[in-house]
Amino acid sequence: MKIALAQLNYHIGNFDSNTEKIISAIKKAKGEGADLVVFAELCVCGYPARDFLEFREFIGLCEDAAQKIAQECIDIACIIGIPTENNKPEGKDLSNSAYFISEGKIQHRVDKALLPNYDVFDEYRYFEPSTEFNCIDFKGHRIALTICEDLWNTIENPLYITRPMDTLIQQQPTVMINIAASPFAYNHDEERIEILKDNATRYNLPLFYVNQVGAQTELIFDGGSMVFDKGGNLLDELPYFEESITYYTLDADGAVSFDHQSGVKPTRPIDIEQIHQGLLLGIRDYFHKSGFTRATLGLSGGIDSAVVCALAAEALGPENVMAVLLPSKFSTDHSLKDAEDLVRNLGCKSETIAIKDVTDAFETALAPQFKTLPFNIAEENIQSRSRAVLLMAMCNKFGYILLNTSNKSEAAVGYGTLYGDMCGGISVIGDVFKTQVFQLARYLNREREIIPENTIVKPPSAELRPDQKDTDSLPEYDVLDKILQEYVENRCSSSEIIQMGYDEAIVRKVIKLVNTAEHKRYQTPPILRVSPKAFGMGRRMPIVGKYLS
């Protein structure tokens, strides 16, 4: 049996585009002599469709698309992911399903059993878990077909009380096929390989795994579809962050062969390389799938805005990026020069709009209220919010989308101005700690200087008052980021972090800042997710909670 794995980039709710992609891949695979072509989880509608799934018409359009796809499956079979109606009166109205289509008809339906309901996942909100498991016979092989999480219950601390494969293996399958929508995180590829390897070894079966690729707002899917032999050896690995269709022959004895050169990586890409690729894909798909083409951002001369500008120029083309320099009376000459040098290095567009007259006007208007009170955070934030007003005016006038440039460290401790530098359409590096931003800058400069060296080596500063430095308000970033990683990503309490050897006063200050800033994060743009625990849909904290404050 010749099997094609189709790793494609889908668009949520764009049935015409998704169906066209699937049919095109079927025709291509048929031309290559494939017997079966396999697509990703919920490929027909895109993943995650969220509350679109609550619309009856949406489910009907999914079924219409499946019927169109079925018409193309003559002399070839396919597996597609689709939401379906739960035919039983008990339970949720829908199932997360896979259709096995051949001879122009839907021949089999397999429903997902293990529904993730943690971090960014909320499948149990919509779907009823399956309790029935049956293999599919095709071309002399018996296929154990599962959907994503159904293979993820082999870990030491299982999240579920059943393993679908424990039932399916009793039916003596000859191959496992798993269709998935597994989001990217910089440490997730290695975990994914271990889980799949464990399944192939545990059940002594070859395993074909198909993941989707592409970004859906903040969620990035990295692809990396894989094939394992029954000994658990990784035979092939599809490209990460790009579409691909590859072909394999499964022999009667379960041996897998293929003609192309193996894509197995001798060494895994470093975290920063993966983050770089993920952010580029996230930016491209956010703009493309939203129908936008041009971006703008405030370019301060600091490292955060420089990295975002460089990423945007690489993802969208420098001709589609407008960098706006917005100097205040506190902006230093070297910051302006660093920003101008970056613009030259990238070849992007730029404008300079001084904000002194704007902020002076606000301060004059507020003089009767502020009277003789000393300069403080109020005047600092007027500068930041003045910049936001000007940037949004540029967006409205010229059709730009504003890129937010706050990093994860700043977002964590609230070191940013609400409705000021925290505004934007998409947060590009909001899941990248400050120490990682420095690494990302060095990575961007791996072949030539893009980020000016002075931008990288100078002490970070918001430049909202004379001689201001980030360390006036925050611990050094190499200390801050380690504490934040333990608290935010590893979910350790303050007492646990203190026991690790961190200064108690610093730990308690940092965690108080994180919790106090929760109301700010509720009002900020969606953040491109590249870590195992990002702010946004995957981290849900009460604003007025007392615990850990």
* Residues marked as catalytic: 41, 112, 148
Cα gap 546→549, rounded to integer Å: 5
Cα gap 66→98, rounded to integer Å: 11
Cα gap 46→257, rounded to integer Å: 31
List Cβ neighbours of 475 (8 Å cut-off, separation of 6 or more): 483, 506, 509, 510
Helix (H, G, I), strand (E, B) or coil at 346: helix
Give the helix/strand (H/E) hosting 165.
helix 164-168
Q: Give helix 333-346 / helix 303-316 axis angle, nearest 10°.
A: 10
Cα gap 111→281, rounded to integer Å: 30
Cα gap 40→442, rounded to integer Å: 35
| Amino acid in position 66 | A
Q: Which DSSP string corresponds to 454-489?
A: HHHHSPP---SSTT--GGGTS--HHHHHHHHIIIII
Cα gap 243→10, rounded to integer Å: 10
Cα gap 148→502, rounded to integer Å: 39
Give me 328's structure tokens: 């205040």
Distance of CA 225 to the CA centre of its chain: 17
Task: Identify whether the C-beta of residue 99 lies closer than 8 Å to the C-beta of residue 83.
Answer: no
List Cβ neighbours of 298 (8 Å cut-off, separation of 6 or more): 305, 324, 325, 326, 387, 391, 405, 421
